[in-house]
A and B are shown apart, each in its own frame.
Chain A
């Protein structure tokens, strides 16, 4: 069997002492930068790129890939422990993960994040090995109309995210959309709401908003009511998930992996959409949706699996077609070019040791991450017992370092502080933060795809229903709407007949 032989070949390549060492270095560095907000894989890989000149191509790629998916891993740790999303994709993990930590269940949260990520990484690796090239061809069928319809479906389904007050949730989605508008318009190059600040012409960074409203906002509101919470945080019941936890989590992990693979294959979807979608789905199918936002383990397991599967599958267009789906992938392609290898479909046949070695190393890297992270859980949980008067300044300092490191810009630290104040006000008034971030992420992308689709069709909106893939998403959107609206309509009718 070809695949079997290829994988054996890949593992023999990846398990050489040198490659194993570079894999370990990669995931270790990745975990570290993942823990810090801001400092992401993009900057790290760019800085480390010159070091890889002297390293053989396979080892270099294994290390760089390790940094990338290691960072996705590390991002969840600070999200759970201190409500600080280390990576963009970890924002969703903040919602329930940090609640679990406050209830003394940080250990199970961290463990389930690691287990879910490992499972998703395994499936993602297999998917690349089995179906990489055909999947990449399918992904190319997605043009602007398809992406728009897909995201429309996502936004409509986002209504499920609403906790409690529907009006407040919608208001926050709109707030996110408005914040997302700031910056340069893609089609015309016009500046929108930048108020003469050149720092705003590229829009507000996601890390700025997320760290501001979550980490800083949380600290400010805790300072107002700290006493009782500190007691809660000190009660650590157990480090590892109970049987009950695992039973609750396997479904979300499976579904999250599926969602993550789907979005990962499509190069035009950014990070965090996979984890948002998984969260929404879990909340919808859960028996007790009320638990969500109050420490539901499903809300950690699903999104973390989705996020890791997404990161893994983002390699498909890069490895099979030589096309960069993101900045990180463009850098990895650059690393290949520097090594004298022309990226593209021919890599698979001409450099099989690179292709299969890298794939095998991804699975080994995921295993290393679990081995690396599980023993650390006890240590991490101890961190929560650090008194707030020491913990808070440390979080503030790391947040500032992280935000600064994205663009080396002090302006963005000021913006983060502003969002900290806004986050505090929103929290106090009971406005949910997650819908705002969803609007902030999805809004600009939807606008971009909508306007590009209209530009290319010459202003004819029928493209959305004449292209089959797009039509399928539109129909799915309508179905979701019907399913959501039906119960409340029925309720009203019952109330009327009563």
Chain B
């Protein structure tokens, strides 16, 4: 062994030791959690809930940083350029898998390669609801109604490219129907219009719709999850009710800029797993109509890729993106 190679090897070992030590001490300063949406949305609710619990377990403050814009692209791009030391994390959702099909991200970031998946947190299905004045009582009856008068049944959504739009577009594709798509600026105004009867149908997130379902102002036809929801046990899944492969579920997870030390990821995964099963978090998610989801890192990465592929097809087939 030459002196030179000895030097290189020693340096390598020393470096490995120091980074391992750094990772063991992680975190030694506050962590910044970027939420690429404004306060109040589902990403924000999930992100803040996890941030509060996680900071207690890590013994460091987690600073929530809302960076909204362009459906999450602005905040996500910001996170992709952050130092890969584990002190910048990003909350993502289904939008992360859809944005590459809606926006030109060339030269900005790659939704899969620019990030290291840390952990998926939870998922929540959509629910298909109609105004109670609509004749159809089941999914099949609504399909029949829409087939009788194509492009006439008014379908309100929270905006082009939103989760509500995706859920409806997937339904159109799989059920072979055509609604009249009426986009709004956000889910609140869209729901007011369906409750008022100006539009007939919407594919809204379960949690935001449950109060209206329970007070009888909206009639549920089916939930978009793989299985029925504990909140609405009498409502069939859309797949059961006549559109076999239908599944539209929003999900939330945490990623870090690509290249973050594995020891940091492991520490975060351990604490997040503990947080996910803590009672306050379980209760909060149950109330939000969401289920805790746990995956290994490769599983999460594969899931993101499959979601990208799935919604990419829907975006293309529905002509959601206008050139």
- CA A105 to CA B183, docked complex, whole Å: 48
User: Are B40 and A327 closer than 8 Å at their CB atoms?
Assistant: yes
User: Are B65 and A323 closer than 8 Å at their CB atoms?
Assistant: no
Q: Does A321 contact B (CB under 8 A)?
A: yes
Q: Does B227 contact A (CB under 8 A)?
A: no
B40-58 vs A, Cβ < 8 Å mask (1 yes, 0 no): 1000110011001000000
Q: Does A186 contact B (CB under 8 A)?
A: yes
User: Are B38 and A42 closer than 8 Å at their CB atoms?
Assistant: yes
Q: Does B305 contact A (CB under 8 A)?
A: no
Given the contacts A141-B196, A144-B198, A323-B192, A43 and B214 also touching, CB distance less than 8 Å: no
Q: How far is the CB of B186 from chain A (nearest CB, A)?
A: 8
B179-219 vs A, Cβ < 8 Å mask (1 yes, 0 no): 01011111011011101111100000001001110110100
- CA A322 to CA B196, docked complex, whole Å: 13
Given the contacts A323-B192, A325-B188, A334 and B45 also touching, CB distance less than 8 Å: yes
Chain A residues contacting B188 (CB-CB under 8 Å) are: 323-327, 329-330
Given the contacts A50-B48, A143-B193, A330-B40, A455 and B182 also touching, CB distance less than 8 Å: yes
User: Are B287 and A186 closer than 8 Å at their CB atoms?
Assistant: no
Chain A residues contacting B211 (CB-CB under 8 Å) are: 322, 333, 337, 342-344
Interface size range on B against A: 35 or more
- CA A188 to CA B102, docked complex, whole Å: 12
B94-135 vs A, Cβ < 8 Å mask (1 yes, 0 no): 000000001100000000000000000000000000000000
User: Are B39 and A46 closer than 8 Å at their CB atoms?
Assistant: yes
In the complex, the chain A residue whose C-beta lies closest to that of B65 is A408
Chain A residues contacting B39 (CB-CB under 8 Å) are: 42-43, 45-47, 331
Query: Interface-forming stretch among B7-15, B67-75, B85-93?
Result: B67-75
A300-322 vs B, Cβ < 8 Å mask (1 yes, 0 no): 00000000000000000100011
User: Are A198 and B74 closer than 8 Å at their CB atoms?
Assistant: yes
Q: How far is the CB of B177 from chain A (nearest CB, A)?
A: 18
User: In the complex, which residues 305-320 of chain B have their Cβ closer than 8 Å to any Cβ of chain A?
Assistant: 320
- CA A317 to CA B39, docked complex, whole Å: 21
Q: Does A12 contact B (CB under 8 A)?
A: no
User: Are B180 and A199 closer than 8 Å at their CB atoms?
Assistant: no
User: Are B195 and A408 closer than 8 Å at their CB atoms?
Assistant: no
Pick the contact of A198: B49, B77, B212, B215 (CB < 8 A).
Answer: B77
- CA A408 to CA B44, docked complex, whole Å: 15
User: In the complex, which residues 20-66 of chain A have their Cβ closer than 8 Å to any Cβ of chain B?
Assistant: 42-43, 45-47, 49-50, 53
Chain B residues contacting A268 (CB-CB under 8 Å) are: 189, 192
- CA A57 to CA B47, docked complex, whole Å: 23
Pick the contact of B192: A140, A327, A345, A346 (CB < 8 A).
Answer: A140
Chain B residues contacting A345 (CB-CB under 8 Å) are: 215, 217
User: Are A189 and B44 closer than 8 Å at their CB atoms?
Assistant: no
- CA A282 to CA B102, docked complex, whole Å: 47
User: Are A338 and B287 closer than 8 Å at their CB atoms?
Assistant: yes
B203-239 vs A, Cβ < 8 Å mask (1 yes, 0 no): 0000100111011010000000000000000000000
Given the contacts A143-B196, A345-B215, A455-B180, A189 and B66 also touching, CB distance less than 8 Å: no
User: In the complex, which residues 321-374 of chain A have their Cβ closer than 8 Å to any Cβ of chain B?
Assistant: 321-327, 329-331, 333-334, 337-338, 340, 342-346
Pick the contact of A325: B159, B185, B192, B280 (CB < 8 A).
Answer: B192
- CA A334 to CA B288, docked complex, whole Å: 9
Chain A residues contacting B40 (CB-CB under 8 Å) are: 42, 45-46, 327, 330-331, 334
User: Are B215 and A346 closer than 8 Å at their CB atoms?
Assistant: yes
Q: Does A452 contact B (CB under 8 A)?
A: yes
Q: Does B167 contact A (CB under 8 A)?
A: no
User: In the complex, which residues 209-242 of chain A have their Cβ closer than 8 Å to any Cβ of chain B?
Assistant: none
In the complex, the chain B residue whose C-beta lies closest to that of A137 is B196
Q: Does B284 contact A (CB under 8 A)?
A: yes
Q: How far is the CB of B161 from chain A (nearest CB, A)?
A: 6
Q: Does A448 contact B (CB under 8 A)?
A: yes
- CA A334 to CA B48, docked complex, whole Å: 13
- CA A124 to CA B284, docked complex, whole Å: 34
User: Are A267 and B215 closer than 8 Å at their CB atoms?
Assistant: no
User: Are A344 and B48 closer than 8 Å at their CB atoms?
Assistant: no
Chain A residues contacting B180 (CB-CB under 8 Å) are: 455-456
Q: Name the residue in B44, B49, B186, B211 with the highest tally of chain A Cβ atoms < 10 Å from its Cβ.
A: B211
Q: Does B253 contact A (CB under 8 A)?
A: no
Q: Does A103 contact B (CB under 8 A)?
A: no
Given the contacts A324-B188, A330-B188, A334-B45, A202 and B68 also touching, CB distance less than 8 Å: yes
List 17 additional A-B contacts (Cβ < 8 Å) besides A321-B195, A342-B215, A409-B69: A43-B66, A46-B39, A50-B48, A140-B196, A186-B183, A187-B160, A198-B73, A201-B69, A201-B73, A268-B192, A321-B217, A322-B215, A324-B188, A338-B284, A344-B211, A344-B217, A456-B182
Instruction: Please name 25 pairs of A and B residues whose Cβ atoms are closer than 8 Å in the assembled complex, sorted by A.
Output: A42-B40, A43-B39, A46-B40, A140-B196, A184-B160, A186-B185, A188-B322, A189-B102, A189-B322, A190-B322, A198-B73, A199-B74, A201-B71, A202-B69, A202-B70, A323-B192, A324-B188, A327-B38, A327-B188, A329-B188, A330-B188, A343-B211, A345-B215, A409-B69, A455-B182
A-binding residues in B (CB < 8 A):
38-40, 44-45, 48-49, 52, 65-71, 73-74, 77, 102-103, 154, 159-161, 180, 182-186, 188-189, 191-193, 195-199, 207, 210-212, 214-215, 217, 280, 284, 287-288, 320-322
B-binding residues in A (CB < 8 A):
42-43, 45-47, 49-50, 53, 140-144, 184, 186-190, 198-199, 201-202, 267-268, 317, 321-327, 329-331, 333-334, 337-338, 340, 342-346, 407-409, 448, 452, 455-456
